[in-house]
Structure 1
């Protein structure tokens, strides 16, 4: 009878170890995915970020990288605790999971509250961003010493298939049209098939005519990625609940040992 009970306990412990190890693997992969998104934002989309005066998007990318790194390290700690069957490491792992979970909940609540408080003023903020991007594009494009802005604008217009901050008509204002246009109505990067001096013709069949211009496409791009990150965050939060349950069960199944 005692032998059967010990065998049952052993089997239960082994099952919990496998469950917790699987959870840690998923947690590690999700943390790596979050880090990858943050790094991708900084490396591949750094040109977009450089066109905005606000540092919010760059800061968000750094936060993603830091959060992903913490999740990865937590997953590694969980694997070590599971393999070693260390009650001390399991406690540390549980505390870290709980802290990350609480931070995710807090961040979600603060984001919701911030959005509700911001809502009456968001239109004004949006207009400020539009004016700032328009000024950056038409005043600095192809200007000596502003080559990074030129590259960023060309990449933005080609990647997002747009032309101008608010519309293609923005290019008829500012220094570019008087100094660097060379009879072009819009930059060549506005063209659906970019070629040298293709911007002399601004017909919709030749250039991207998008309602709301590049700023609307940029906002759409950011919102899509926020939705993806939100879904990933919810998935990780649910994983953490199961992880905390598995950790508690494994902790109770292990014999008392010195830490």
Structure 2
């Protein structure tokens, strides 16, 4: 029994073809939208690529770009097919192409769905990339004279001021790395030398943070040195001065920023997937109804259209049998080829070369 059988008159078939022609051109626009969203996400990631470790964070934007381009091509072809199918006599030129087109479009729509799901599942990879990348950038913050790293100080400072964050997970991350360059340290001071010697790695570790960590909404001048020392500043309590520095870590700030972008893109892609699925359903109805018109031979007659000619179980069973038969055919062909190779004619005995008695000439001489 056919699944979702619908009866179409000639008027309804023509209207369906016209509507599908318009919807396919709208789908070309949605394909361009997918391409634009993937390009936008790729640009946003590339803006801060130096703050991310080498991870597969470009997988989602690359997929959206590829799916957008494929969507433009597929829906452009679908628009041409539906435009010609308004006249049922022109359906013959697309009859052999329409079914492979529907199958390809079916798998394409699920690739759109996969792109939407990847947008929601990218958070874990992005968090790992940001954790490793920010740690590396903070470690090279002081290397302003090293080629390839001289821009990291400016990048990290701009990041902390723009996103109102400090450190990787918090401002205390700056306490465990040397972020002050050695050229700014006065080696003649005993305190500096002792602090360098007290650390196993020879780093100059202090409870200070860069100026970009200062909270611009603080009611008092920013305290960025000796933050954990309550006696170093007047009327200062480290436990209660939460407005002095940005409390949020930059990893969480960036993760929230990218998560919001990916959720918005994922919702848009999901809506596009539903739209593409509806267009595919309409094209399937148009194909089956026009094929039934050809069987009846009257272009003005009523015809039935369906999504599947048989039920889901029967369709799955028939496809499974086709796959099994293909496997059996391959086995039979292999066996026949093997038997054909084994059918070698038996060797014929070599003809006698030494006379009728098949004896060498020396033996014949002895006998005589």
| TM-score of the aligned structures, taking structure 2 as reference length | 0.52
Question: In 1, distance between residues paired with 2:183 and 2:74?
Answer: 54
1:77 maps to: 77
Question: In 2, distance between residues paired with 1:181 and 1:41?
Answer: 39
Q: How many residues align?
A: 235
Q: What's the CA shift string for 1:4-60, capped at 9, x where partnerless?
A: xxxx51x32332133213432342233222222221222233132331113221232
Q: Does 1:249 align with 2:285?
A: yes
Cα distance, 1:128–1:18 mapped onto 2, change above 3 Å: closer
Question: In 2, distance between residues paired with 1:84 and 1:22?
Answer: 13
Question: In 2, distance between residues paired with 1:67 and 1:181?
Answer: 52
Question: In 1, distance between residues paired with 2:45 and 2:101?
Answer: 34
Question: In 1, distance between residues paired with 2:211 and 2:119?
Answer: 39
Cα distance, 1:129–1:46 mapped onto 2, change above 3 Å: closer
Unaligned runs of 5+ in 1: 1-7, 116-121
What are the within-5 Å matches in structure 2 for residues 1-259 of structure 1? 9=10, 11-85=11-85, 87-88=94-95, 90-104=98-112, 130=131, 132-140=133-141, 143-144=144-145, 145=147, 146-179=149-182, 185-191=208-214, 201=224, 205=243, 207-210=245-248, 213-254=249-290
Cα distance, 1:191–1:79 mapped onto 2, change above 3 Å: farther
Question: In 2, distance between residues paired with 1:93 and 1:151?
Answer: 52
Q: CA deviation at 1:214?
A: 0.9
Q: Judge conservation of contact 2:32–2:68 (CA < 8 Å) in 1.
A: yes
Cα distance, 1:126–1:105 mapped onto 2, change above 3 Å: closer
| TM-score of the aligned structures, taking structure 1 as reference length | 0.70
Cα distance, 1:66–1:149 mapped onto 2, change above 3 Å: farther
SS at match of 2:246: coil
Question: In 2, distance between residues paired with 1:67 and 1:92?
Answer: 18
SS at match of 2:247: coil
Q: What's the CA shift string for 1:142-161, capped at 9, x where partnerless?
A: 62322453454344334432
Q: What's the CA shift string for 1:178-207, capped at 9, x where partnerless?
A: 4488999444444555xxxx9764875464
Whichever structure has more helix as a proportion of its residues is: 1
